[in-house]
A and B are shown apart, each in its own frame.
Chain A
Amino acid sequence: MTRSLPSKLLIAFSSILLAHACYSAHEHSLLLSSTPSPHDSPSATPISGTTLPLDITLETLISVSLLLVGIISSGWELKPISLRSYAGGVESGRILLDGKKVAGLFDGLEERPGFLDVRKQRKEFADWVKTQG
């Protein structure tokens, strides 16, 4: 898998952004637990203490979206999902197995191993050996 430069940059940038968002969220929670609340009564639990600030949430969401875009657009060789392109790849040799041609999907219908005429093949081989000297 070869990644193109723009998508590499995008992945790097969004990873930094995501790390930053995580760090900010961590710092925010530390800040809340270390500052004593001014009114020590159960009725005055501040709502801002349980939710993250909007900018950190946004940063997280945006960085994750950018990271996904970066990974998806980074030049994967997608596997063929239509018969047309898979069969075409097999016939032309774009799809190989261990550097060898894959047998066609329906070759069996024309080779018909159940009806193998072994004597004919044996004779062909013997003739070939004779021509090889």
Chain B
Amino acid sequence: MSVSSLLNRFRSASAYPAPSESLSLSQLAPSILNLTITDTPEQWALYESLLLSTLRTADDTSARLILQRLSDRFGNDNARIMALQGIYDEATATNQSQLEEVLKNYTEVLKADPTNIPIAKRRITLLHHLSKKSEAISALTTLIDLNPTDAESWSQLAQFYFEVSMYPQAIYCLEEVLLILPNAYNVHARLGEISFVVAEGLNGSASKEVVEKLEASLRWYLRSVELCDGYLRGYYGIKMVTGKLLDSKISAGHRTIPEEKVNKLNSIATVQLNDIVAGSEKGGKGFVGYDSAEVSAAKDLLAATS
């Protein structure tokens, strides 16, 4: 296999591959390491992806070799190589004190150069991993002060806030992501999900506030399917939120979206979900991209509401 086809193989895998996928990617290590080094950007990108895969599957010997070749080429003081070295150290640390040692290294590197973004991100991840959530959040807000146009950081901060149930802050962070990338349909869907969680968590299931949150959630979901045709996650959300809004407990006075519109949206979402579920079960040509777990969840939702 050529470098570019191998690279496509890695790129089509997500950053959170299933274990079986990780294994098959990691097993490509000998064939990739035996290729002659041509010093092309593709080859080094391939090395970087392979390093992460081998670390996931605990193939530390290959990982060591890959990291050695990368640092021979780019030098030990390259920010990206430092972050990869850090990932290697984190992965191979066997006990808590070694991890603390890695963390101390990060802190020292950042003291010398506070703008080393990859290392700052490693430090935040490690803090979070060591269950120091509030420290991770404050480190991340400092990083965002330094680099406010990094959508990845804003999105990570939203996730941290979400984990500690600070939903308004999480929503704010995701709205910042949308200011940077206004077409990110998955972030719209995520905002819909968080608004829905907020509505579910409020007490007094028919109050004005609940209706407000549900309608906000519906609007986010609608925008996500507007930006992405046939978006399973978006239609699932629309179906779920309109179902809640049509619940008899909710008084019509609180609504700002008229009932017939909600009804219509509900039936549109049902039709779309039915299409997707039917297409995926037949294994139709245009349906192979849908995640099977998501499809079966959609099927359950349809069965529960019909």
Would you give the shortest CB distance from A70 to chain B, in whole angstroms?
Answer: 28
Closest A residue to B93 by beta carbon equals A119
How many angstroms between the C-alpha atoms of A103 and B14 in the bound complex?
Answer: 7
Within 201-241 of B, Cβ neighbours of A (below 8 Å) are at: 226-232
Which of the candidate stretches B38-46, B180-188, B244-252, B260-268 sits at the interface with the other chain? Answer: B180-188
Q: Which residues of A contact B177 (CB under 8 A)?
A: 109
Q: Which residues of B contact A108 (CB under 8 A)?
A: 15, 152
Closest A residue to B8 by beta carbon equals A98
Q: B183 contacts A93, CB within 8 Å? A: no
Q: Is A107 an interface residue (CB 8 A)?
A: yes
Q: Is B125 an interface residue (CB 8 A)?
A: yes
Q: A109 contacts B184, CB within 8 Å? A: yes
- The 8 Å CB contact of A114, one of B90, B118, B129, B181, is B118
Would you give the shortest CB distance from A84 to chain B, in whole angstroms?
Answer: 5
How many angstroms between the C-alpha atoms of A119 and B276 in the bound complex?
Answer: 36
Q: A109 contacts B152, CB within 8 Å? A: yes
Which of the candidate stretches A4-12, A42-50, A59-67, A124-132 sits at the interface with the other chain? Answer: A124-132
Closest B residue to A102 by beta carbon equals B12
Q: Is A117 an interface residue (CB 8 A)?
A: yes
Q: Interface digits, A89-108 against B, CB 8 Å rule (1 contact, 0 not)?
A: 11111101110111111111
How many angstroms between the C-alpha atoms of A33 and B110 in the bound complex?
Answer: 86
Given contacts A100-B12, A128-B19, A129-B19, are A116 and B87 in contact (CB under 8 A)? yes
> Which interface residue of B124, B186, B285, B290 has the most chain A CB atoms within 10 A?
B186
How many angstroms between the C-alpha atoms of A87 and B87 in the bound complex?
Answer: 32
Q: Is B64 an interface residue (CB 8 A)?
A: no
Q: Is A112 an interface residue (CB 8 A)?
A: yes
Q: Interface digits, B121-133 against A, CB 8 Å rule (1 contact, 0 not)?
A: 1001100110000
Q: How large is the interface on B (under 10, 10 to 19, 20 to 34, 35 or more residues)?
A: 35 or more
Q: B57 contacts A92, CB within 8 Å? A: no
Q: Which residues of A contact B187 (CB under 8 A)?
A: 106, 109-110
Q: Is A29 an interface residue (CB 8 A)?
A: no
Q: Is B5 an interface residue (CB 8 A)?
A: yes
Would you give the shortest CB distance from B56 to chain A, in whole angstroms?
Answer: 5
Q: Which residues of B contact A94 (CB under 8 A)?
A: 285-286, 289
Q: Is A121 an interface residue (CB 8 A)?
A: yes
Q: Is A40 an interface residue (CB 8 A)?
A: no
Closest B residue to A90 by beta carbon equals B289
Q: Is B166 an interface residue (CB 8 A)?
A: no
Q: Is B116 an interface residue (CB 8 A)?
A: no
- The 8 Å CB contact of A109, one of B5, B56, B155, B227, is B155
Q: B152 contacts A87, CB within 8 Å? A: no
Q: A98 contacts B5, CB within 8 Å? A: yes
Q: Beyond the given A85-B229, A107-B15, A125-B22, could you list 9 further A-B residue pairs with CB under 8 A, ordered by the A residue number?
A: A92-B287, A96-B288, A110-B190, A112-B152, A114-B118, A114-B152, A115-B125, A116-B15, A121-B16
Q: Can you sample 22 A-B contacts with CB below 8 Å?
A: A87-B227, A91-B232, A91-B290, A92-B229, A92-B230, A93-B288, A94-B285, A100-B12, A102-B12, A106-B181, A107-B15, A109-B155, A109-B181, A110-B187, A112-B152, A114-B117, A114-B118, A119-B91, A121-B16, A122-B55, A125-B19, A125-B57
A interface residue numbers (CB < 8 A to B) = 83-85, 87-94, 96-98, 100-122, 124-126, 128-129
